[in-house]
């Protein structure tokens, strides 16, 4: 599997220009330094959504319920409320029940956090701006997200409480069930794009909103099914049965307190942003602004400062789109009533799985029908294979030449060009 660490560009810079007071670095040292920098950046961003969206949820829920929400910590709008909550939780006593399995009880929150954290590794925030660019990026992201349920079940099982165990079993059944239609719907835009590389999926939607996958007739409905299942996988209302206070006290979290309790919610809010970012990449054009501005900048300035400015603009666009979807999840939580466990499972097994299978089959058959009837594979926008942005040509010999294809006529992105270098 051909992978390219995003740290390579920084490593090459360190090898060439070095760092102050140390000079140029050798290859291994530069790679280690670059990897540490990128892991630190991803780690810092991993904690940022939790603080931001905890505050946002308090304000949004307050407005929905005709309240003001936080108004004291950090000024008029309560900007520092999340920080104050974090300081309070760190100071709380860390308790382990007498009947609990101490090792597994302490380990469970970290499994949940690691599962959410690793999912960010393959998520591109802009063109080529990912910790790791993988040809199977979607597969990796969905695979590591599914590991979160192991931490949840372990937390309930090791607590020594029947209420925590019941909540963990509910959550395990719900998450495993809803991951099936979510993954099937995530494959619909993959079929349209023809690649599992998330960076390339986003690039295929560049150039304008008419190229976004959500305008595909089957992908349009697949987006809403995916978003519904993603909301359920994040344990959000109306699917928060694992924490149904009226029935199970607090679900699998019943025996947790202090810092370890906060880790579960850190992972929850980080997962909310991750699945929203994944929806943006797959369906909503990724970092594309919808008006072709970023594409025009990249075409006019394929290298240097112009390309960097385009990526910064794309990063802001991506964050805005993802944040809007997170706010929708918050809005749904404080608007819709909680479902019963039988209603949740019936919705998934009886409705969402058949619908997702139909949408996947339709996505596969759609271009074949169009090609047979009209001689083309797309009605809105150019075919997917013709949409890649062209910042520069692929240098050197590639697999295209070995197949008798002239690479000078092939258009690829900056990140794709770097991935293709031997």
Q: Where residue 405 falls among pLDDT bands split at 50, 70, 90? A: very low
> Kind and range of the H or E element at 176?
helix 162-193
- Angle at alpha carbon of residue 136, lines to 127 and 134, rounded to 5°: 45
Specify the pTM.
0.83
Tokens describing residue 142: 């969905």
How many residues make up the chain in this entry? 422
Q: How far apart are CA 190 and CA 201, in angstroms?
A: 7
Mean pLDDT of 249-265: 85
Q: Which residues pair with 392 in a beta bridge?
A: 412
Residue 56 pLDDT class (50, 70, 90 cuts): very high
Tell me, what's the pLDDT at 312?
92
- pLDDT tens by residue, 130-189: 878 888 999 999 999 999 999 999 999 999 888 888 888 888 888 889 999 999 999 999
DSSP structural state of residue 252: G
Report d(CA 236, CA 303) in Å as an integer.
43
| pLDDT(301) > 90 | no
* pLDDT tens-digit readout, 341-397: 888 899 999 999 999 999 999 999 998 888 888 877 777 666 666 655 444 444 444
pLDDT of 416 above 80? no
Q: CA of 408: how far to CAs of 104, 133, 401, 418, in Å? A: 57, 24, 10, 15
Which of 274, 270, 294 lies closest to 124, judged by CA?
Answer: 274
Angle 103-175-285 from CA coordinates, rounded to 5°: 120
């Amino acid at each position: 599997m051909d992978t390219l660490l995003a740290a390579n560009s920084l490593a090459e810079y360190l090898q060439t220009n070095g760092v102050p007071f140390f000079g140029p670095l050798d290859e291994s040292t530069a790679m280690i330094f670059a990897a540490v920098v990128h892991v630190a950046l991803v780690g810092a961003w991993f904690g940022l959504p939790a603080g931001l969206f905890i505050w946002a949820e308090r304000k949004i829920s307050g407005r929905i319920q005709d309240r003001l929400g936080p108004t004291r910590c950090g000024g008029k709008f309560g900007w520092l409320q999340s920080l104050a909550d974090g300081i309070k939780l760190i100071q709380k006593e860390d308790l382990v029940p007498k009947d609990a399995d101490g090792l597994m009880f302490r380990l469970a929150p970290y499994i949940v956090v690691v599962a959410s954290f690793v999912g960010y590794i393959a998520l591109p925030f802009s063109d080529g701006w990912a910790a790791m660019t993988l040809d199977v990026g979607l597969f990796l992201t969905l695979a590591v997200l599914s590991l979160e349920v192991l931490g949840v079940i372990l937390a309930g099982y090791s607590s020594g409480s029947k209420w925590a165990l019941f909540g963990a079993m509910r959550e395990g059944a719900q998450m495993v069930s809803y991951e099936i239609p979510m993954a099937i719907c995530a494959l619909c835009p993959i079929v349209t794009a023809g690649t599992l590389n998330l960076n390339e999926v986003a690039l295929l939607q560049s150039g304008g909103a008419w190229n976004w996958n959500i305008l595909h007739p089957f992908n349009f409905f697949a987006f809403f099914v995916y978003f519904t299942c993603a909301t359920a996988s994040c344990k959000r209302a109306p699917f928060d049965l694992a924490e149904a206070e009226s029935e199970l006290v607090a679900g699998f979290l019943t025996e947790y307190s202090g810092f370890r309790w906060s880790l579960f919610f850190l992972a929850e809010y980080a997962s909310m942003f991750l699945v929203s970012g994944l929806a943006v990449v797959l369906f909503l054009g990724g970092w594309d602004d919808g008006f072709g501005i970023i594409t025009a900048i990249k075409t006019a300035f394929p290298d240097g400062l112009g390309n960097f400015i385009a990526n910064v603009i794309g990063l802001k666009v991506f964050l805005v789109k993802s944040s809007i979807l997170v706010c929708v999840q918050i809005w749904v939580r404080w608007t819709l009533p909680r479902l019963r466990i039988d209603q949740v499972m019936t919705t998934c097994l009886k409705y969402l799985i058949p619908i997702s299978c139909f949408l996947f089959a339709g996505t596969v058959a759609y271009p074949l029908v169009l090609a047979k009837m009209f001689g083309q594979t797309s009605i809105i926008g150019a075919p997917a294979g013709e949409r890649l942005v062209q910042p520069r040509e692929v240098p050197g010999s590639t697999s295209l030449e070995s197949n008798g294809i002239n690479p000078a006529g092939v258009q690829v992105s900056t990140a794709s060009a770097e991935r293709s270098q031997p």
